Structure 1
Amino acid sequence: MEEAVADCVAALGTVVDRDWREVRAGRLEWSCRRTAEHIASDLVAYAGQLAGRAQDAYVPFEITLDGSEDGLDPADNAGVLQVITTTGALLAAAIRTAPRAVRAFHPFPFRHANREGFAAMGVAEVLLHTHDIAEGTGIAYEPPAELASFVLTRIFPRVEPGPTPWRTLLWATGRGELPGREPVTGWRWSNNPVLRSERLTLEGVTPAVAADLSLAGDGGYAWVDGAAADGTREGAGIMAAQYEAGAFHPEWAMYVLVRREDDRAVGAMGFHGVPDGDGRVEIGYDLVAGARGHGYATEALRTLSAWALARDGVRTVTAVVEEENVPSQKVVTRAGFTEVSRREGRIRYELGG
């Protein structure tokens, strides 16, 4: 967050002597001045959401720059940049101090975001609107590639990577073109989906988490037994490949199963892909050894299956289990699945809506 704000202030600090009120910010309808004020407003709003743990709506407050609404001498452009620096620091502090499991209200698309989601949204606001102001004032601007990549892999999961992260982010938000892709005329970022069962939180993975898990990282989780299971890493690798191919669908991807009592990950569960033309979707799961025997897999399977069957067009959830894997067979049957076939040492189970 601090890096994005510092980069913004350094770039726009070169044009503080210009009249931002009379210049339109790139392709926006706003002036450069209004756009700069919007950056500050969003940063402090995100900080308020996260610090206040707002759950159902935005915290009812707003920021007003000195004089901008009451007829007094308004803050000059340098003063606006100082406010952006300050509000950016407030959001960074809220992100650093929020516990990992905390979520706060944001409307798109699942009505919540965690600290990483708010960080990505804040960085996106800074990068994109700095670009708009730079375009309006006629100066060059390109942020560090890792900042644009951070935004893309956290809140733009369905956007296929392009030639560079920055060009891809500009295209994804209707601000640029990419060879072979249609122009974007409407867009919205996406925080990760989250479901809750009696004891667990099922946290949808982002492309960043999938990539880290596939490369033997922890994905940002404290795992029972100290590390994710091999099946989880294999599934994460599939998710990472889907992202690279532009075929990542966050709702129909992998969910990490987190035990709420101690915020430790016990395994992962997810779909093999989006529902097919017959309304059928396949589900798989994997628990670390130290978390088995406590009913976590059954509990999560019931929750995720019920969620899937409540979606439009989904008629059947299937699971395939090896014949020698008796514990997994018990999991699916306890979750309400029925055996429908056996072939080549594998049993297919189904649960209908």
Structure 2
Amino acid sequence: MRDMGGDQIEEAVAGAVATLRQAADRDWSVKAGRLDWSCRETGEHLAAALIGYAGQLAGLPADRYVPFDITFEECESAEDILQVVEATGALLTAAIRAAPREARAFHPYPFRSANREGFAAMGVTEVLVHTYDIAEGLGLAYEPPGALCEDVLTRIFPQVRPDPGSAPWRILLWATGRGDLPGRAPLTGWRWSNNLVVPADRLTLQGVTPAAAADLRAGGTGGFEWIEGGPFEGTRDAAGMLTKAYEAGVHRPEWGVFVLVRRADGRAVGGMGFHGAPDEDGRVEVGYDLVESARGHGYATEALRALAAWALSRDGVTSLFATVDRANSPSQDVLTRAGFTQVTTEHIEGPDSEQYAYELRP
């Protein structure tokens, strides 16, 4: 799996500056594309976003933005602004490379935090779309590499259905309210979506992005550092289900797959997640597995309690549901310890069934 980090920031900034320097001698007070800002104001916003993300990764605040900003009072020309964009891009690149993989900092949308990969994806998005805005205002042609656009789409736009018939750049423009796609209504509002992380005692449950899911399905690590023997087969199967949902445009990241990561060493020990969004009755099915060497330490119970508490606190969720083979007594014990009770359903009934059904209600 291609990493999302400092290399992508460098690539995006270099391409943007090379394009915009072609018009460094023009009037940047003209409107930037469809924005209400001028080209100068858009350049200032871009630089402020890059330095802001660098500040978040350097300071790692948990509940707010680091309270600082930069001004452009000394910027007299377009070249001055481009130099600031280069400098702030370099600072974000350095902050991303210095941040540990497990580090997370505040970002408001949608789950109140992002990791270094998320800040890299947000930074690249800012560079690509605002370079497009400025270029459009100045009459310049601009199209970034498709791989950069795909990196962004598969990290922070998990709700956006891919389209083999459309270039990733066209999809990203549509996803940010800047273009049209055949068969899709134009967007008047949009948000990106960083992965959800659910905290537990010894673990964090880290939401799997479409990029990570595709890598796991193909036999990779998904960008996680696994203990010996991982990931287990069930996690790869779940990643395949997530990939299919993403490709169909029905993936909802908060009801996807999570990798269980130990706080002590940052290593992944298993997977857990939902079989999809809650149904019309508010019921959602959950499944899980652990790497064999991680079993017997209470990780699955701890993670299931945390994920169940998160799910049952969502509006409209009435119950969690799980099935387990009759011969799998350790998994039955996990469900029981997490508060689930055995039930009979229309799908699993009678002594001839090979599975038991369990349910947890608020």
Report the TM-score when normalising by structure 2: 0.94
**Shift in Å, 1:206:** 0.8
Match of 2:17? 9
RMSD value, Cα: 0.9
Tell me which of 20, 23, 44 is aligned to 1:37.
Answer: 44
Percent of aligned pairs with the same amino acid:
64
Cα distance in 1 between the residues matched to 2:150 and 2:321: 35
Match of 2:147? 146
Tell me which of 168, 177, 182 is aligned to 2:180.
Answer: 177
Match of 1:350? 359
Q: Does 1:259 align with 2:267?
A: no
Tell me which of 332, 335, 338 is aligned to 1:335.
Answer: 338
**Shift in Å, 1:321:** 0.1
Match of 2:235? 232
**Shift in Å, 1:75:** 2.8
- Alpha-carbon displacement from aligned partner over 1:102-130 (angstroms, at most 9, x marks no partner): 00011111111000000000000000000
Q: Does 1:55 align with 2:62?
A: yes
**Shift in Å, 1:54:** 1.5
Runs of 4+ in structure 1 off by over 2 angstroms are: 341-344
Q: Which amino acid aligns with 1:8?
A: A
Match of 2:33? 26
- Alpha-carbon displacement from aligned partner over 1:227-267 (angstroms, at most 9, x marks no partner): 31111001001101111111111100001100101111010
Cα distance in 2 between the residues matched to 1:174 and 1:14: 26
State the SS of the aligned residue for 1:267: strand
**Shift in Å, 1:225:** 1.1
Match of 1:129? 130
**Shift in Å, 1:64:** 1.3
- Alpha-carbon displacement from aligned partner over 1:282-337 (angstroms, at most 9, x marks no partner): 00001000100000001111111111111111111000001111111111011111
Match of 1:100? 101
- Alpha-carbon displacement from aligned partner over 1:119-151 (angstroms, at most 9, x marks no partner): 000000000000000111111110000111111
**Shift in Å, 1:66:** 4.3
Cα distance in 2 between the residues matched to 1:90 and 1:346: 55
Q: Does 1:245 align with 2:248?
A: yes
Cα distance in 2 between the residues matched to 1:66 and 1:311: 46
Cα distance in 1 between the residues matched to 2:312 and 2:62: 26
Q: Which amino acid aligns with 2:37?
A: W
State the SS of the aligned residue for 1:339: strand
Q: Does 1:197 align with 2:197?
A: no
Q: Which amino acid aligns with 2:47?
A: A
Match of 2:3? none
Q: Does 1:220 align with 2:218?
A: no
- Alpha-carbon displacement from aligned partner over 1:8-36 (angstroms, at most 9, x marks no partner): 00110111010101x10000000001001
- Structure 1: gaps (5+ residues): 68-73
Q: Does 1:65 align with 2:72?
A: yes
State the SS of the aligned residue for 1:118: helix
Cα distance in 1 between the residues matched to 2:297 and 2:149: 41
Cα distance in 2 between the residues matched to 1:345 and 1:313: 31
Structural mapping, 1:303-322, within 5 Å: 303-322=306-325
Contact 2:230 2:269 in 1 (8 A): no
- Structure 2: gaps (5+ residues): 1-8
Q: Which amino acid aligns with 2:326?
A: E
State the SS of the aligned residue for 2:228: helix
Cα distance in 2 between the residues matched to 1:152 and 1:348: 37
**Shift in Å, 1:65:** 2.2
Match of 2:6? none
Cα distance in 1 between the residues matched to 2:291 and 2:253: 23
Cα distance in 1 between the residues matched to 2:101 and 2:229: 17
